[in-house]
Structure 1
Amino acid sequence: MTGYTLMHEHTTIDLSGVKQDADCRLDCYEQTREEYRHLYELGVRRIVDVTNDGMGRNPEYIARMAQETGISIVQSTGFYKEPFLPERVYQQTVSKLADWMVSELCSGIQGGPRARMIGEIGTSKNCMTEMEQKVFQAAAITARETGAPIYTHTTLGTYALEQAEFFRAQGLPLDRIVLGHIDLSGDLDYIRRILDTGICIGFDTVGKNNYFPDEKRAEYLMELEREGRMGQIVLSEDLTRKSHLKEFGGIGYSYLFETFLPMLRAAGMKQESVDQMLIHNPARILGDA
């Protein structure tokens, strides 16, 4: 796959029921299509959509978006985190949940295209609940059986070392697992400790300055480049709300390329590091290389 890959996005998502906020139902097809077409012009050729069961996943919507924009959109299987888990997680065994994920990876989602990613599976702030542990166990079984990569959610970057230890204990290849939202930890030493395990991390909330400023993201990435750690990092924005789209006053999906990468380049980041995070690491994680 040539071109850039965004490793953690949502083409459409609906968390509005739990959050009681209509803004959390991202279903703006025309606006998203125009933004994705602009991403194509900027060199993006693939987006990993980590919307799964219980998050308002819509395989047909995504397939049509891919066809109309020219961007390959990787679909995902799995379950998110509490309180967004579907009833099947509470009712079924770990084995049954794994069987369901294996089926989506091997036979297709609702008769449509096959999933290629297990994700985003998540933990709560500073802990893994009993049901979240059930999902992680099912995901590990699925990954061993299918070889599929895993993308996780950490709440504000917490519980990442524990996630890494869980996957290590399961015997999974850590270089094909990405721990999400690690930029939100706001702790460079903690980030180093996570990277020391050999697992990959997402600086995947780029542009969400209300959580953590991009100036610090850039500062951290420049330091990690100096330390030779670019081979474990991927980038994305994780847009989830209508108000994140440009037409409604948000930064839009192109912010990473039009604002953040120029910030990195102005700070002295090498193009080979940018390519590592947006081309080569995604290719390895997704099994292209």
Structure 2
Amino acid sequence: MLQEGITYIHEHMTIDLSEVKESEDCKLDLLDETIEEMKELYALGVRNIIDMTNTGMGRNIPYVERIMQETGMTIVHATGYYQHMCLPIQVFEKSVSELAERMIREIQVGIKGTKSRAGVIGEIATSENVWTDAEKKVFDAAIIAHKETGTPISTHTSIGTLGHEQVSYFKEQKIDMEKVIIGHVDLTGDAEYVLHMLDQGVYVEFDTIGKESYMPDLTRIKMLHEIEKRGFTDKVCLSMDITRKSHLKKNGGLGYAYLLTDFVPQLREAGISESFIQKMLVHNPRAFFK
């Protein structure tokens, strides 16, 4: 499914959380600017974007297909539902099996009447230090869809919380841990917390690179250094999770390329091995989606 090359494991080509967050900045709908940045990424060796925008987050399939056509990038669509504050009414009205059937249809047939199919179940979410009943309903539906289709599952942890609980739940449900990736673990700031998850066999995402208002990149680098030192290099992936107009270069943000133009050089300067860097950018995402 993925092309040879670098993969950004957790991004958004377009997303609309403007109503929930009461900010127009949270409506990422700058098509031309996004295409321009994707062309820059392509020139830097990126070939795959895993787009985590799902139902209720402003998912727009024709928009994303246009980006693919204009850039040559492979963009993987997601099926599923996000955290409680963004859940559409159907999550509360439909049964777990009905939600699972919708996910399965989007994986096997197509999304919203198109022929574009989902290649990942995500980003299914827990809230900060709280796992609501509705969110558990989504997890249960995702597990059914995963068992039916074999499609990998990607999660959202709010500020890195409840990652251990998510892993434990998947283990209880007898999910293949190599088909699960836990998101936003860099926001824990705690290498030991992440190492515990890696020891359980799941993949993890350091996917908020550059968001220093949440966590300094230096902390992320120190965490990755410890992870490499302990030998857990095979299941870590990188991304930036761009979600706002202000994140794009044209609006003064870091832009999608920051991960490669700035953060990766910092990793090298800090003594992170080239082998680990290439695993995080190229080999680990391909192994997850094999």
TM-score interval, normalised by the smaller of the two chains: over 0.9
Aligned position for 1:235: 238
Aligned position for 2:59: 57
Aligned position for 2:102: 100
**Aligned-pair identity (%):** 48
Question: What is the CA distance between 1:194 and its match in structure 2?
Answer: 1.7
Q: How does 1:232-271 map to 2 (within 5 A)?
A: 232-271=235-274
Q: How does 1:109-128 map to 2 (within 5 A)?
A: 109-110=111-112, 111-128=114-131
Aligned position for 2:33: 31
Which amino acid is the alignment partner of residue 13 of structure 1?
I
Q: How does 1:5-16 map to 2 (within 5 A)?
A: 5-16=7-18
Secondary structure, aligned partner of 2:75: strand
Cα shift readout 1:40-74 (whole Å, capped 9, x = no counterpart): 00000000001000000001100110110111000
Distance 1:82 1:44 in 2: 32
Structure 1: which 5+ runs fail to align?
none
Cα shift readout 1:230-281 (whole Å, capped 9, x = no counterpart): 1111100000000000000100000000000000011122221111111111
Aligned position for 2:20: 18
Matching of residue 159 in structure 1 with residue 162 in structure 2? yes
Question: What is the CA distance between 1:191 and its match in structure 2?
Answer: 1.4
Task: Count matched residues.
Answer: 287
Aligned position for 1:85: 87
Secondary structure, aligned partner of 2:195: helix
Secondary structure, aligned partner of 2:187: helix
Distance 1:188 1:205 in 2: 15
Is the 2:17–2:27 Cα contact (8 Å) retained in structure 1? yes
Aligned match of 2:49 in 47, 50, 70? 47
Runs of 4+ in 1 over 3 A off after TM superposition: none
Aligned alpha-carbon RMSD (Å): 0.7
Distance 2:190 2:278 in 1: 24
Distance 2:20 2:121 in 1: 22
Distance 1:225 1:42 in 2: 25
Cα shift readout 1:131-173 (whole Å, capped 9, x = no counterpart): 0000000000000000000110000000000000111111111
Question: What is the CA distance between 1:112 and its match in structure 2?
Answer: 2.7
Aligned position for 2:149: 146
Distance 1:21 1:268 in 2: 40
Aligned match of 2:277 in 274, 278, 284? 274
Question: What is the CA distance between 1:196 and its match in structure 2?
Answer: 1.6
Matching of residue 201 in structure 1 with residue 204 in structure 2? yes
